[in-house]
Amino acid sequence: MINTKNVLMGLVAPVALLGLLAANPAAAREPFTKAELADQNAARLAAVDHGRDLWHGSLGSMQSNGLACGNCHPDAAASNPQTFPKFQADLGKVIPLRDMINWCIMVPQAGTALDVNGDDMVAMEAYAFALYTGKAITPGLATKQTTGINVGSGVGYPKKGSGVGYDTEK
Ligand code: HEC
């Protein structure tokens, strides 16, 4: 037997939803204009640029031994950001990229970790990902980690540095 109450409810719900959408035109927003997209990209590139400087030694608290990320990961080499989150053997658990960045700040560079939610950390990630654009996302295992490459530059090393901050030729 047809339940009239159910049929009525089945009609009321979609009609009410339509009414709600009509009353709230902002439910589906307009696409961004080209100018807005350009502004958003400029903001992203500013973060990438700040990340490049941090990566190459513009913040002294990130080290206490004269090393910058760029000494072992020139141009974010061998940082493989697209493989995170993954298991990190030294920490014994699955970690996001920002924890790996802080690990390298605290261990090889003997520095002070960045605030994981701060603008500097966002910039570090923005820089790494910008240089890995187009790489397939392939979260991996510790056994697949490629180690940093010592390029022999910066204060901790004698050769040519990146020209930013403490990671410069001395
Ligand atoms: C003295 C050399 C050295 C410096 C300086 C250094 N790293 Fe590393 N980095 C390493 C080594 C070695 C590993 C591999 C560690 C492991 O697998 O447990 C590594 C691994 C990484 C990884 C993971 C790579 C992967 O394939 O999973 C990231 C990301 C990373 N470093 C970022 C940084 C950042 C950011 C900095 C600067 C704050 C930095 N590193 C500074 C040596 C260095």
CATH of the domain at 66: 1.10.760.10
In a domain, 119, yes or no: yes
CA distance 154 to 70: 8
In a domain, 65, yes or no: yes
pLDDT at 159 over 90: no
In a domain, 32, yes or no: no
Nearest CA to ligand 1 atom 27: 145
For Cα atoms 167, 73, 83, give the angle at the middle one, nearest 5 degrees.
Answer: 145
CA distance 8 to 13: 9
In a domain, 26, yes or no: no
What integer pLDDT is reported at residue 145 of this predicted model?
61
Span of 58-72, 87-101, 109-123, 132-146 with lowest mean pLDDT: 132-146
**Probe target for ligand 1 pocket from 58, 72, 109, 115, with the most ligand atoms within 8 Å of CB:** 72
pLDDT at 70 over 50: yes
- If you search the block for the tokens 């807005």, which residue do you land on? 36
In a domain, 19, yes or no: no
Note whether 148 and 73 are within 8 A (CB): yes
Nearest CA to ligand 1 atom 1: 108
- Domain of residue 95, residue span: 37-144
Cβ neighbours of 71 (radius 10 Å) = 27
What's the half-sphere exposure (Cβ side, CA atoms, 13 Å) at 139?
9
From the CA of 73, how far away is ligand 1's center (Å)? 7
Q: Helix or strand or coil: residue 87?
A: strand
User: Residue 40: which pLDDT band, with cuts at 50, 70 and 90?
Assistant: very high
Would the pTM count as exceeding 0.75?
Answer: yes
Q: Helix or strand or coil: residue 88?
A: strand
Supply the DSSP symbol for 81: G
Overall domain count for the chain: 1
Kindly report, residue by residue over 5-20, the tens digit of the pLDDT. 655 556 555 555 555 5
Note whether 88 and 95 are within 8 A (CB): yes
69 lines ligand 1 (CB under 6 A): yes
**Probe target for ligand 1 pocket from 48, 54, 71, 79, with the most ligand atoms within 8 Å of CB:** 79
What integer pLDDT is reported at residue 158 of this predicted model?
45
Strands annotated E in 36-167? 86-88, 93-95
